[in-house]
Amino acid sequence: MGNIDFSTKAVEMRNITKKFGDFTANDNIDLTVHKGEIHALLGENGAGKTTLMNILYGLYQPTSGEIYINGKKVEITNPNVAIKLGIGMVHQHFMLVDTFTVTQNIILGMEETNSLGVLNLNKASQKVEELSKKYGLYVDPNAYIQDISVGMQQRVEILKALYRGADILILDEPTAVLTPQEIDELMEIIRSLTSQGKTVIIITHKLKEIKQVADYCTIIRRGKKIDTVKVEDVSEEQLASMMVGRNVSFKVDKTDREPGEVVLEIDNLYVKDNRGLDAVKGLSLKLRKGEVLGIAGVDGNGQKELLEALTGLRKVESGKIIMNGQDITNLSPREIIDSGINNIPEDRQKRGLVLDFTVAENMILENYHKKPFSSGGRLNHKAINDFATELVEKFDVRPRNIKQFAGALSGGNQQKVILAREITNNPEVLIAAQPTRGLDVGAIEYVHKYLIEQRDKGKAVLLISFELDEVMDVSDRIAVIYDGKIVDIIDAKVADERTIGLLMAGGGVDGEQKE
Amino acid sequence: MVNRKNKIVITFISILFGLIVGALALAIAGFNPLEAYKIMFEGIFGSPKYISWTIVRSTPLILTGISVAFAFKTGLFNIGAEGQYIIGSLVATLVGYFFKLPIVIHAIVAILAGCLAAAIWGGIAGLLKAKFGINEVITTIMLNWTALYLSNYVVFWEPFKRPNRDASQQILDTARIEILANWKVSDAGREFLKNNEFLKDFLNPPVNFGFIIAILVAILVWYILKNTTLGYQLRAVGFNKDAAEYGGIDVKRNMIISMMIAGAIAGLAGATQVLGVSRETAILTAAEGYGFDGMAVALIASSNPIACIAAGLLFGGLKYAGSKLQPLIGAPLEVINITIGVIVFFIAMPKLIDILISAINNRKRGVEVENTK
């Protein structure tokens, strides 16, 4: 707090509106950040935080609104302009050349050369070392990117921005990919930067980090600015309610239903992520017939790994998954499908569809080897086409052309194809991961209706979603996942957003877990 | 976007471009391109004998082309058709020479043995990719050289090597698949052909069943890809591994199967070449290039197995006819290689032709707009 120079507005964005077609990503947003301040942008996924910062960095042009840097009105037409104005941005996904050294990456595009145009790597390396000492960003200038940790790679990204003379640093979800230790180190670095007169804007939806490091916080919800608050003056709870609170209630019609017996049981599950670190850490959960169990949580708390372990796509390190009394731990995807688990995958274009297949071919992805779609190894095109035609009609896939390539469909219609396929299988357990991501309101309602229908038929639905509203609307019970564990399970009827929001952000974790 | 109709148009424009640039190369080298192309055209269609030679020369290219195309359709790049071809021809020669079997059966056994060996050869690359994630491009290239030297080693084996020749023993007559091979040289055959000029000429080269086999294989591969669960799986893995895995398809197993099938088809090219044309395995100092030319054929055919027949004939025809330029007008063979290279070059960048077509269309439209003003 002591570093803030209230006489200088490093960034001032006035009435920023950004529309993508009919969709308004930013609606008349104001943002003021003083020199030397750590300013957090808080909001749910898709709230418009990153869009706003991309505008500041020149990646997008605002539909309307004005930007002032250090009091001067500017037009940031592209990132080069932003860099000249002293703005640097570290994206969530790093943009580094793996086979280059730290120094080579940092100087890329701004190489030190002598009069003959020959690269002077020694001089560059020295400069990088000076910078890293000055801000406490310790890196080995000669290490290769592929050999250093993600936390180190992030430092390289920050150094890259500083090397280009950045005074205002934008960090987009900087902790999403870091380990807890790396997060602590990053917080130190951010403080050290502001103590030397830099201004930092950090995009996040983690409350703890905001409390830990930020001076001020601007909350954005569905493209609108809710408020800017002094972080000292508010509690995590208040921040949570501002982040998830809503103006419109979009309640899903559903009747009370007494859940049946346990159909899927997860017992003390451990799963590693791609980096070999534990992502699911002793998770236990019981799913009953005739219920929708929602898993609420912020992205990156083990949901992806849990989902992949449940569907046989990722190895379970220890623990058990029991389906109808049968141990299905580490079975193949097909054996798991055959045991009665179907899945609406998180990433429909990566997992859910073969984009170069037709709609008809996609409809049989899990059942092509079964009758009537094939017999004796031969596909029965007529049965496939009849089936696809029926589903396209029933699930209102547009256009009604089963010969269309899946890649040519809109996102919503692609999702309908997956939904049609998975629900028509009528599985005992349907795992729906982010089933409404990127869909418009109409399509979302539609997906929710089908999930509830499955439940009313006495089937079990496990809903994994980053959208708290969705989890609250659709679920009967809500399990909150944080750091690879279920931290609490709450009856949806008595759940309130504030409590869940707080649990999601790691507030009130007492180390004890429930099942 | 490039649709199917455009693809065909682009292919033909590419061939045309290739011929034009080839003509330039000829002209620069001081030869009359029209005369050269006339010689080439007559070199293919001038006599029934030339037509059958073109077919004979094209057969192995069609098969290696299908091999590469099949692998490509399933997401793999089979650079190993060359080595699989060598293994196929070696094993077919071994079986053709050492086995004593009745006619027809002998040929079938030799072909199947060649295919099987080449399937295993291709399968090694598939297995290495599936188990250890080693890129099939690397392994198949290395297996090409392994195959080459393995073949040479076996041919040098005393009971197999033909004395005073850099080649193996010749296969037994029972294993040959040349059409009417013995009848052609028998008295009755000679008598008959004396009165039938066309047939005599057509049967002069070693016309064999390989071409028919190649057509059947093209249809079979097309059928497998389109109408069977195996084809469905293989294509799903080729298009989107992650979705295939999610759908319960065993991705690794399908990679191995795909490379085995691709290997078998390339091996078939080698086996039919031995049983139908060469009748022996020669000691090689370098690869003959059937596998590499197969890549070009697959490319021209846009990896469509049926189109590989036409592409193989085109490629084989150009090579065969090109070889006649040297003796007749003294034009170097390199010119024909330039032409073929340019054709492949243009097909490899359909975007460019696409841009050219739309640029021409736009200009036309622009002119129309000008005119209506």
Q: What is the pLDDT of residues B66-79, one digit of tens each?
A: 999 999 999 899 99
Of B230, B233, B239, the CB nearest to A356: B239
Cβ burial B11-23 (10 Å sphere, 16+ → b, else e)? bebbbebbbebbb
Residues of A in contact with B225 (CB under 8 A): none
3-class state of residue A463 by DSSP: strand
Q: Are residues A328 and A357 in the same domain?
A: no
In a domain, A250, yes or no: no
User: Which amino acid does the sequence have at A43?
Assistant: G
Q: What is the pLDDT of residue A248?
A: 36
The domain ranges of chain B are 1-31+331-373, 52-329
Whether residue A511 is found in the same domain as residue A390 = no
Task: State whether A68 and A113 are in the same domain.
Answer: yes
Chain A closest-CA separation from residue B223 CA (Å): 10
Please give the residue of chain B at the shortest CA–CA distance from A366: B247
What is the predicted pLDDT for the residue at A180? Answer: 59
> Which structural domain range is residue A422 located in?
349-426
Mean pLDDT of all residues in B294-304: 88
Do A415 and A434 lie in a common domain?
no
- Minimal CA separation from B128 to chain A, in Å: 21
Mean pLDDT (chain B) is 86
Q: Who wins on pLDDT, B43 or A113?
A: B43
Domain boundary among the residues A374, A400, A426 is at A426
Q: How close is the nearest chain A Cα to the Cα of B294, in Å?
A: 25
Could you tell me if residue A254 is inside a domain?
no
> Which of A411, A426, A441 corresponds to the end of one domain?
A426
Q: How many CB atoms neighbour CB A114 within 10 A?
A: 9
- Same domain as A355, residue A334: no
CATH class of B52-329: mainly alpha
- Predicted pLDDT of residue A198: 92
Same-domain status, A156 and A276: no
Q: Look at residue A253 and tell me if it is in a domain.
A: no
Write down the ipTM of this complex: 0.79
Give CA–CA dist A304/A323, Å, rounded.
Answer: 20
pLDDT at A170: 94
Is there a single domain that holds both residue A107 and residue A212?
A: yes
Q: Do both A27 and A160 map to the same domain?
A: yes
User: How much is the pLDDT for B369?
Assistant: 42
Identify whether A9 is part of a domain.
yes
Number of domains forming the structure of chain A = 3
Cβ distance of A311 and B250 shorter than 8 Å: no
Question: Model confidence over A191-210: pLDDT tens digits?
Answer: 989 998 899 999 987 777 88
* CATH code, domain carrying A452: 3.40.50.300
pLDDT over 70 at B276, yes or no: yes
Listed residues A377, A396, A426: the one ending a domain: A426
Quick check: helix, strand or coil at residue B307? Answer: helix
Is it the case that residue B109 has pLDDT exceeding 90?
A: yes
Q: In angstroms, what separates the C-alpha of A237 from chain B's closest C-alpha?
A: 39
Task: Give per-residue pLDDT as tens, B314-358.
Answer: 888 888 888 887 787 777 777 777 776 776 777 666 666 667 766
**Same-domain pairing of A197 and A81:** yes
A241: nearest Cα among A229, A252, A253, A254: A229
B228–A356 CB contact, under 8 Å: no
Confidence band for B2, pLDDT divided at 50, 70 and 90: very low
What is the signed CA dihedral for A207, A209, A215, A221, rounded to 10 degrees?
-40
Cα-atom radius of gyration of chain B, to the nearest Å? Answer: 23
Whether residues A9 and A149 share a domain: the answer is: yes
Long-range (24+ apart) CB contacts under 8 A made by B109-113 are B110/B171, B110/B175, B110/B271, B110/B274, B110/B275, B111/B177, B111/B213, B111/B268, B111/B271, B111/B272, B111/B275, B113/B271
Same domain for A77 and A52: yes
**Which strands make up the sheet holding A72-74, listed edge to edge?**
A72-74, A64-69, A5-20, A23-35, A224-230, A216-221, A38-42, A199-204, A168-172, A87-90
B239–A353: do the CB atoms touch at under 8 Å?
A: no
* Candidates B228, B242, B250; nearest CB to A377: B228
| Range among A180-194, A461-475, B140-154, B175-189 rated most confident | B140-154
d(CA A40, CA B362): 50
pLDDT at B320: 86
- What are the start-end ranges of the H helices in chain B? 4-28, 33-45, 48-73, 81-98, 105-132, 136-155, 181-185, 187-194, 197-202, 210-227, 229-239, 241-246, 251-273, 290-300, 307-322, 325-329, 333-348, 350-372
Is A434 inside a domain boundary?
yes
A97 falls within a domain: yes
Per CB-CB distance under 8 Å, the chain A contacts of B226 are 379
- Contact flag A334-B248 (C-beta cutoff 8 Å): yes
Report residues of chain A scoring pLDDT below 70: 1-2, 45-46, 176-181, 244-253, 437-443, 507-515
Local confidence band at B193 (pLDDT 50, 70, 90 cut-offs) = confident
Written as six digits, the tokens of B275 are: 């049983």
Q: Within 10 A of B85 (CB to CB), how many other CB atoms are there?
A: 35
Say whether A379 and B249 touch across the interface (CB within 8 A).
no
A404 and A332 within one domain? no
Most A CBs within 10 A among B227, B234, B246, B251, hence the mutation to make, goes to: B246
